[in-house]
Structure 1
């Protein structure tokens, strides 16, 4: 039976004397296909967009407002001034394959994530762990090397979800978690299907089936919404058509915030980008408003550092890299750089492809040529993110509060200035809120002053949904399409 009922069909049903029954299935559109379905072994946001809070759960989780909530841990005690965390687990939790979830699975999951051979993209979340001990089947004691008031936040990331040793090696294509939905099937290049898990330990979702359709082309995304082929597009890729959809009573448009700092990333070890004057010249050559209007049709907030404007510790650094082509030319002359050609790698999202073309044109105005390479997502991850083989690239970093990536020496834009590393080390050891706020502001100042990257805009969350759907996230405190509260209304 076709799982959606249009308003006209509903009207006919009422005229015939039958009540309208809310559907129990949903089809969502998404732009990027995940390279795999294991959130603990990759950096792709598209993976979490399918599995976070749906298939996999952690000890804690992000709420729709960014709050840190209990998940598999019903509560936790903080001991020794934040050096020890004792997590109390929900009883009776099972994995989708029927295996019991116990404290031993927490020990396995955290030890696996922090192991020397771990492929976890966020190993930094676990590096402060000294030991993990199963006190009893429902109690876990985590001892840290130093106090960390931010540890429950770290455990809420998709990279920190709990997995079972028996199924861990196959999670990329056969994900097995404890969440309200279990993996159904994956038709490569087309769709991923999740089904409600009858044995779920918590509140059962209203939906029985969720299908994620892969639709990368903005025109096709609009056509799919108009035709009813998808019920919602939580991260809608065609902002130029939002006004048309908003005017149509069949749909509602959801506009919120994300943690996505969109940047023109620069390879800081690649000459002449190892020269701060050249990086500053590039930053001054770019008109952020042109990018926001031309690539995002007005949806986006200009930023001058790697920090979300909605965060209380945000510092407006945009003045340090304001659009100034003449200053850009002067800086290039000071650096002794002329006839410069740089490689610009662009992943698939429309903000990158559209924004990249605008950036290339503006760099050309100050004498910098670019060689554009449009890459598929897997190619970008392998060549740019893992391999560091690039000069420039446009990407949105959607992880929450991730300014610490600038302290990682092996991170793809290769900054890791010793003074910045020291600042992050100090932040980790600091629990006083006022002192942490000051350190975060210093961090924003430093990367803005060094023009590590050209900071463009904070990605807005623009979603479209059937007007009868409730429960989708308006904001995106993490990269997720949490379906636990999604339901249809009459």
Structure 2
């Protein structure tokens, strides 16, 4: 009987392993994510969750970001730049088709860029395209973009998810049925649960190694832990519960990847509304925050403190954390000078990520110590985008800005935190027209200093990227130079 049981157990184990191997050999992968996209148009919303699923996988731009943050050729195989820096001539790859079988042509690029910069454009990063004076199809595979003035960041801007190329034939249904040119095709979206992609057999470039990819949305950190441990997901990208990482590191079934992101996590303040239209109040808030306690309490020690809106891994970063150091007595003094000696009450609206929800509770307690009471409201992303980002209906909010090199948002007075400083706007305008690396470096640093001096927001920490990946799954990016879970090179080890 014992021999029979051992034989049966061995057979069952072998069958289980064989089944697992077959699934891996077939190229299937399931990736866990905490946030679900509100819709599937990367050119029509500020939600980073859209890019996480679709950037590079389904949609592609003229240029693209590499895993090291480099700007590489995308749908454009090459380009020339005029001597005065105002004309970019892009040459598209031959033989590129959209997932519906239509050919990619220069006219699609014209349509995409004209749509993004149109007056009625819903593009969340419309400012990326404001310097475009005209877009012209020279021939079917050549596009000339003329800028009103030189822009040293133009190729970088064209790599953003907001600049992916779309076609007029499929634009009407893009929010629910995205059709791009990427290595994967959209297959299905079970809202509230998952999105399925399948390999594009007609992909113009290096084909994907995977046959299918499923993005599984699990917002609750406890449920995320259970899903990884049960191997219901093959990877959990940007894992939301750092307190669990030691468990995974000790388990040979998994690898833990800890890297950096472009995500400046901030306590955003509504500069356009009282009392945050007063710089002294904003400075008081900044000095009330104990970053070390926040990082330890909300992130279990993961995360690098920041004092301005710039990534510490960038060579042009200036460490300004001491300028807004934790000093509650200074905070109380500033509130007294601003006429709020008895404190005040404001709203604190928190989107779903755990860094926001956990961090919000800690910051609320810290603000209470200096007399600032907060009315916490937990909101879903769709509500946050509608009410906070678009409606500007908030006092405080916590969010991580994961777009790369996005300090230029502070030059937009109508941006959701409503900061309006002509001196800063002039720095960004000069930066845009500057091509010299040394000159650009000085301007980046000047821009960082100005917003730190104005205490525009409470600068908290650079969001780390912590992912849990099954042993044997290769190609998941350790760092996040852009908001993307790029699966185009992901594969199971043989």
TM-score, normalization: structure 1?
Answer: 0.96
Structure 1 Cα separation of the partners of residues 258 and 146 of structure 2:
41
Q: 1:213 aligns with which of 198, 213, 216?
A: 216
CA, structure 1 residues 317+10, in 2 after alignment: closer, same or farther (shift >3 Å)? Answer: farther
TM-score, normalization: structure 2?
Answer: 0.96
Structure 2 Cα separation of the partners of residues 117 and 21 of structure 1:
46
CA, structure 1 residues 20+114, in 2 after alignment: closer, same or farther (shift >3 Å)? Answer: closer
> Is 1:245 the counterpart of 2:248 in the alignment?
yes
Structure 1 window deviating more from structure 2 (80-89 vs 102-111): it is: 80-89
* Offset of residue 22 of structure 1: 2.5
> Is 1:194 the counterpart of 2:200 in the alignment?
no
Structure 2 Cα separation of the partners of residues 368 and 108 of structure 1:
49
**Hey, what does 1:40 align to over in structure 2?**
43
* Offset of residue 81 of structure 1: 2.8
| 8 Å CA contact 2:24, 2:492 repeated in 1 | no
> Is 1:415 the counterpart of 2:419 in the alignment?
yes
Q: 2:392 aligns with which of 356, 367, 388?
A: 388
**Hey, what does 1:83 align to over in structure 2?**
86
Q: 2:145 aligns with which of 142, 156, 173?
A: 142
Q: 1:183 aligns with which of 183, 186, 189?
A: 186
Q: 1:231 aligns with which of 234, 237, 246?
A: 234
Q: Which ranges of 4 or more aligned residues in structure 1 deviate by more than 4 Å?
A: 8-16, 18-21
Structure 2 Cα separation of the partners of residues 158 and 184 of structure 1:
20
Residues 342-369 of structure 1, C-alpha deviations (whole Å, 9 max, x = no match): 1000001000000000000000111111
Structure 2 Cα separation of the partners of residues 273 and 243 of structure 1:
40
**Hey, what does 2:437 align to over in structure 1?**
433
| 8 Å CA contact 1:22, 1:489 repeated in 2 | no
Structure 2 Cα separation of the partners of residues 20 and 424 of structure 1:
50
> Is 1:360 the counterpart of 2:343 in the alignment?
no
**Hey, what does 1:470 align to over in structure 2?**
474
| 8 Å CA contact 2:308, 2:320 repeated in 1 | yes
Find the residue that maps to 1:177 and give its secondary structure. coil
CA, structure 1 residues 230+19, in 2 after alignment: closer, same or farther (shift >3 Å)? Answer: closer
> Is 1:53 the counterpart of 2:48 in the alignment?
no
| 8 Å CA contact 1:343, 1:392 repeated in 2 | yes
Find the residue that maps to 2:430 and give its secondary structure. helix
Find the residue that maps to 2:127 and give its secondary structure. helix
Q: 1:257 aligns with which of 256, 260, 272?
A: 260
RMSD in angstroms over aligned alpha carbons?
Answer: 1.7
Structure 2 Cα separation of the partners of residues 21 and 319 of structure 1:
50
**Hey, what does 1:5 align to over in structure 2?**
none
Structure 2 Cα separation of the partners of residues 67 and 425 of structure 1:
23
Matches within 5 A, 1:91-110: 91-110=94-113
Residues 372-424 of structure 1, C-alpha deviations (whole Å, 9 max, x = no match): 00101111110000000000000000000000000101100000211111111
* Offset of residue 23 of structure 1: 3.8
| 8 Å CA contact 2:352, 2:381 repeated in 1 | yes
CA, structure 1 residues 226+9, in 2 after alignment: closer, same or farther (shift >3 Å)? Answer: farther
| 8 Å CA contact 1:184, 1:193 repeated in 2 | yes
Residues 118-176 of structure 1, C-alpha deviations (whole Å, 9 max, x = no match): 10000111111111111111111111111122211010000000011011121100000
**Hey, what does 2:446 align to over in structure 1?**
442
CA, structure 1 residues 480+277, in 2 after alignment: closer, same or farther (shift >3 Å)? Answer: same
Structure 2 Cα separation of the partners of residues 34 and 21 of structure 1:
27
Find the residue that maps to 2:367 and give its secondary structure. helix
Give the total of aligned pairs: 483
Find the residue that maps to 1:243 and give its secondary structure. helix
> Is 1:325 the counterpart of 2:324 in the alignment?
no
Structure 2 Cα separation of the partners of residues 196 and 388 of structure 1:
40
> Is 1:348 the counterpart of 2:331 in the alignment?
no
**Hey, what does 2:5 align to over in structure 1?**
none
